[in-house]
């Protein structure tokens, strides 16, 4: 019995020492682990081949705390005014990037804007720390308005949509396809 008591005493002492010397959990690291990330199958509007391509890439779609409805999957005219394309914010291994599926085809993909998910965390008042990256369609009129309002680089005459990539509540940038390459344009500031 004395041996069992001594063993228990040692176990408690070791547990207390570990607790005392263990580093407290960084709340920002904890916030990255608790980002809501939806599986591609949650977006039934995505064509099955695109969902399958995202699943093969082990993508999940991160959700900003500011928006209650599922988001970060968009449809727009990113190559030309005649073609619908899809863009999805894909999170893997705690970083995200935008995948653009040309004409909604799973075998024709560009990737843009890879960044750490931790870099898109911010304090959200009583909600605590939350993820705040969101993509949306930037129309040609919005692109021109942002360039004028925020004195950004003069864009080419926009003839189709761009992709607005926002740190919600802070700033955004526009990715615009010129027909040959993606360029960065001013977003909201």
Kindly report the average pLDDT of the chain as a whole number.
88
Could you tell me the pTM of the whole model?
Answer: 0.85
Q: Is pLDDT larger for residue 151 or for residue 137?
A: 137
Question: Can you give the pLDDT at residue 74?
Answer: 98
Question: Can you give the pLDDT at residue 13?
Answer: 42
147 has a pLDDT exceeding 80: yes
Assign 60 to helix, strand or coil.
Answer: strand
Using pLDDT thresholds of 50, 70 and 90, give the confidence band for residue 38: very high
Question: Can you give the pLDDT at residue 133?
Answer: 98
pLDDT (average), residues 150-173: 90
Query: What are 47-101's pLDDT values in tens digits?
Result: 999 999 999 999 999 999 889 999 999 999 999 999 999 999 999 999 999 999 9
Give the Å distances, CA to CA, from 68 to 63, 65, 71, 86, 163.
Answer: 9, 7, 9, 21, 21
Question: Both tokens of residue 22?
Answer: 């263990």
Contact criterion met (CB below 8 Å) for 31 and 128: yes
Sorted by sequence, the CB contacts under 8 Å of residue 10 that are 6+ apart come out as: none
24 has a pLDDT exceeding 90: no
SS (H, E, C) 77-142: CCCCCCCCEEEEEEEECCEEEEEEEHHHCCCCEEEEEEEEHHHHEEECHHHCEEECEEEEEECHHH
Place of tokens 């291994």: 93
Contact criterion met (CB below 8 Å) for 62 and 43: no
Distance of CA 140 to the CA centre of its chain: 23
Distance separating alpha carbons of residues 128 and 133, to the nearest angstrom = 16
Distance of CA 45 to the CA centre of its chain: 19
Query: What are 69-80's pLDDT values in tens digits?
Result: 999 999 999 999
φ/ψ of residue 59, rounded to 5 = -85, 145
pLDDT (average), residues 12-37: 69
């Amino acid at each position: 019995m004395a041996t069992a008591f001594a063993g228990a005493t040692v176990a408690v002492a070791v547990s207390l020492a570990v607790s005392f010397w263990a580093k407290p959990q960084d709340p920002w690291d904890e916030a990255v682990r608790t980002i809501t990330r939806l599986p591609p199958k949650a977006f039934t509007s995505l064509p099955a081949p695109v969902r399958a391509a995202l699943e093969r890439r082990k993508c999940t779609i991160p959700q900003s705390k500011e928006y209650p409805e599922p988001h970060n999957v968009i449809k727009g005219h990113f190559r030309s005014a005649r073609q619908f394309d899809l863009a999805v914010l894909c999170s893997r291994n705690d970083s995200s990037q935008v995948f653009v599926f040309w004409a909604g085809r799973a075998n024709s993909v560009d990737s843009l804007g890879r960044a750490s998910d931790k870099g898109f965390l911010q304090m959200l008042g009583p909600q605590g720390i939350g993820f705040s990256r969101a993509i949306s369609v930037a129309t040609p009129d919005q692109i021109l308005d942002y360039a004028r309002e925020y004195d950004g680089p003069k864009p080419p005459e926009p003839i189709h949509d761009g992709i607005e990539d926002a740190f919600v509540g802070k700033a955004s940038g526009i990715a615009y396809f010129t027909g040959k390459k993606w360029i960065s344009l001013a977003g909201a500031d």
